[in-house]
Structure 1
């Protein structure tokens, strides 16, 4: 993992704003480079990468959220609701050092290099019975997350393919034309390590007809559209989340949780939307899936604090901090525990 940068105690101390009579999460999180059975249940790392977005003709910037997230996350309160000792911070990948490319095929080759490095770390974490918390980067990373999880499960789990729930405005099920942010789930399913795939909140306006036909015809894919939830009112948002959880629930397959922030209204991203889900609904989704699913990992992607087109929003990191804390609270508050967990 030549592009990985370990997190150090000095990194931690430079970020935590200590106040008298308070304990911040950053004063309790575990900072160590070793990964073993003694590691806490959650292992957090970041990804600085927007190659997958650019390889899908999008606007760069998805690698900018990690630092802002850390500043916010490490300064929330350590209380009985959320204890820092349950989280280990490893560090982050920085793929911004890759030689800049303009040509799409070259970008897609770089995405394959990102896949290979990230999948190795995810596999290592999962093999120890821990849950990776993966923050940042493009949604191309879903492929690496699923591949790494499937590889890491080989010694512990009856099925090494993974189910997945994706809260997203897009299916990311485009054709296999070279790796990018729009086809990670197609590649993962075609290659055999994504079993069931559920999408919540798909936008009809941005789902091509050929992809819609593929989704509808596939027996191991379930999706609900934003329009069915909020315009036609066929069911409410909570029911849509229930459907996805029930579809992916399994005694044989763990469930990866993916959240692309381009489904949340007015959150800075390459495909930023003026109409979509609220921050409250995104938080509800993560709490419910963590509590009710036998989760394999969490990936929150596409968020940006600065886009290449000049748009900026410094509050993005704080939103990501809320989302991660909600997921951790949901898991600690839930009843489902992996049989092979060491914690």
Structure 2
């Protein structure tokens, strides 16, 4: 596993040097190689960056999401452990980034799936920072491999303005293909349509063809109009639908699900969308749910951001997910 990784920049791990004001840069342990394997084995959750946006470019989107992991880390490591329960109650590690230099997109996907699988097999929750939404497929593949999931044992909630179920005939692997692949290509068919929920989708940004394709597979599509302003009620419903049968759940957050006033640095932003408060509540509920075993936060594009607001939102999503994990105990 370690040969596939580059350790995170130590300069990102912020400290005020004040014992009365600890920051997450002092709480999360930076792993530097195989000598740190015991720290990973005892962890509750592990951050993993994937600085990769070729899938977005293949989908005719704007580049820059490869810088997302660094920007989210920088914002996250300046946060505090919060109030009781504290994030410092968890054992948190940072694995660094998947190597992308000199690697094809397919090779990056293979390496990501391999690392996620090894992490999940240890009972550690992977927290994947991207990067394009194409990365959601290798995340799921790795999780299914690591946890040995069989038919119908996986439930997925995609928080997104887009459906992302294009087949590979339009440009091969792109940021628009991850959930087509998850429904059609995962070995052993762990994800069935009835356990796949699209949350916050915007009608005006999606083709009726893909809507009908999902309806034929008995997936659930909750549009923005149905969920806006009601995050707790509708996300609890989503957890129930995705979890009816499966033993493991995952949540994938495309930052473009959030309105551009709150997330200006999304690869494909929209003036309409969930609020930052909505998505924080969703993250908290996901973190509290014992069966949620993977979170990814994708499509943060720092070159498009303003005052680091989108990176800060990504950090906030991480914070509230981990806050929820503290409450599992």
1:289 shift after superposition: 1.8
Query: How far did 1:207 drift?
Result: 1.4
Q: 1:90 aligns with which of 91, 95, 98?
A: 95
Which residue is 2:165 aligned to? 173
What is the aligned partner in structure 2 of residue 216 from structure 1?
Answer: 215
Report the aligned-residue RMSD: 2.3
Which stretches in structure 1 are left out of the alignment for 5+ residues? 100-109, 336-343
CA distance, structure 1, for counterparts of residue 18 and residue 283 of structure 2:
30
Quote the residue 1:50 is aligned against: 53
When the two structures are superposed, what TM-score results if normalisation uses the length of structure 1?
Answer: 0.83
Tell me the alpha carbon deviations over residues 232-281 of structure 1, each in whole angstroms, 9 at most, x when there is no partner.
xxx94433212211111256430111000001011111211111110000
Spell out the pairing of 1:1-343 with structure 2 (5 A cutoff). 4-7=5-8, 10-11=10-11, 15-19=14-18, 21-32=20-31, 33=33, 34-36=36-38, 38-79=41-82, 80-84=84-88, 85-95=90-100, 97-98=101-102, 110-154=104-148, 161-177=153-169, 178-191=172-185, 192-195=189-192, 196-219=195-218, 221-230=219-228, 236-250=230-244, 252-266=246-260, 267=263, 268-307=265-304, 312-334=306-328
Pair 1:210–1:251, CA change in 2 (3 A): closer
Cα distance in 1, alignment partners of residues 209 and 283 from structure 2: 30
**1:31 CA displacement:** 2.5
Distance of 2:144 and 2:131 partners within structure 1 = 20
More helix by share: 2
CA contact (8 A) 1:82 1:325 kept: no
Deviates more, 1:249-258 or 1:128-137: 249-258
Kept in 2, the 8 Å contact 1:45–1:135? The answer is yes
TM-score in terms of structure 2 length: 0.87
SS of aligned partner of 2:109: helix
Q: 1:104 aligns to what?
A: none
Q: Distance in 2 between matches of 1:159 and 1:126?
A: 18
Task: Supply the distance in 2 between the matched residues of 1:122 and 1:43 (Cα, whole angstroms).
Answer: 10
How many angstroms does 1:98 deviate by? 4.2
Report the alpha carbon displacement of residue 333 of structure 1 after superposing the two structures with TM: 0.9
Cα separation, partners in 2 of 1:27 and 1:252, compared to 1, 3 Å: same
The alpha-carbon deviation at position 11 of structure 1 amounts to 4.1
Counterparts of 1:251 and 1:290, CA distance in 2: 19
Runs of 4+ deviating beyond 6 Å:
none
SS of 1:323's equivalent in the other structure is: helix
Relative to structure 1, the CA distance from residue 35 to residue 252 in structure 2 (aligned partners, 3 Å threshold; closer, same or farther) is farther
